[in-house]
Amino acid sequence: MLTALFGGTFDPIHYGHLRPALALAKELGLTKINLLPNRIPPHKPQPEANTEQRLAMLQLAIADYSLFSVDTRELEPKLINQPSFTIDTLKSWRQQNGTQQSLAFIMGQDSLLSLPTWKEWQKLLDYCHLLICKRPGYAKTPCDSKLQQWINQHLTQDSQTLHQCPNGYIYFANTPLEAISATEIRQNINNQQSCEKLLSPKVWQYIHENRLYNAKKC
């Protein structure tokens, strides 16, 4: 069985997360995707919603899908002041589950392009495969030649390889293009614009009830 982790800030979770993940599951025959909310994203501004609120929105968004569950290992109290480095999370997952099980980490094309800024990025494949979802506005080919070389060395388009090998491959998925970002959603809400079509109705209701992302808090 190929286990998949889908890391993110999810501030808030939106259809740009859910739709590509659902399509990816179909494409690769994944039966479980574990959403992995970070506490302190190392590479971007700190979340506006607090950890409990982001977690609550995740739970609401996935309530109707048996495919998804939430892995809270990056939210553990002992990690309260530490940036959530993916490599450390993968090591912790391997300590818990051993080295033989196939593990994949899902990310969008934007995250792939930013990989050279990640801690020990070239070691990520020692612990998992990377599954890359398309994202509009981000080039398929990296400018960074070291990254491109690394991708070329580890590329596969064979789903069986991902299921059979525990780690070590990069797969570009044929997922739908969803022009949605959490930044745009937060900005729209702050500007009193509707985002109903960009996220699940339950999450939209939660944002309203808790007056999230609204600088005026009106």
Q: How far is the CB of 190 from ligand ATP (least distance, A)?
A: 13
State the Cα–Cα distance between residues 53 and 195, nearest whole angstrom: 18
Residues that bind ligand ATP (CB under 6 A): 8-11, 16-17, 20, 44, 107-108, 110-111, 133, 135, 178, 180-183
**Of the two residues 74 and 178, which places its CB atom closer to ligand ATP in the complex?**
178
Minimal distance, residue 49 CB to ligand ATP, in Å: 11
Q: How far is the CB of 186 from ligand ATP (least distance, A)?
A: 7
- Minimal CA–CA distance to 27: which of 199, 189, 170, 160? 160
Tell me the β-bridge partners of 6.
35, 106
- SS3 (DSSP) at 100: coil
Cβ nearer to ligand ATP, comparing 18 with 162: 18
Cα→Cα distances 175→21, 22, 76, 136, 208, Å: 8, 9, 31, 11, 30
Q: How far is the CB of 108 from ligand ATP (least distance, A)?
A: 2
Whichever of 26 and 44 has its CB closer to ligand ATP, that residue is: 44
Query: What's the min distance (Å) between Cβ of 134 and ligand ATP?
Result: 7
Question: 13 vs 79, which CB is nearer to ligand ATP?
Answer: 13
Q: Report how far residue 84's alpha carbon sits from residue 148's, in angstroms, rounded to the nearest whole number.
A: 25
> How far is residue 215's CA from residue 40's CA, in Å, rounded to a whole number?
21
Residue with smaller CB distance to ligand ATP, 42 or 160: 42
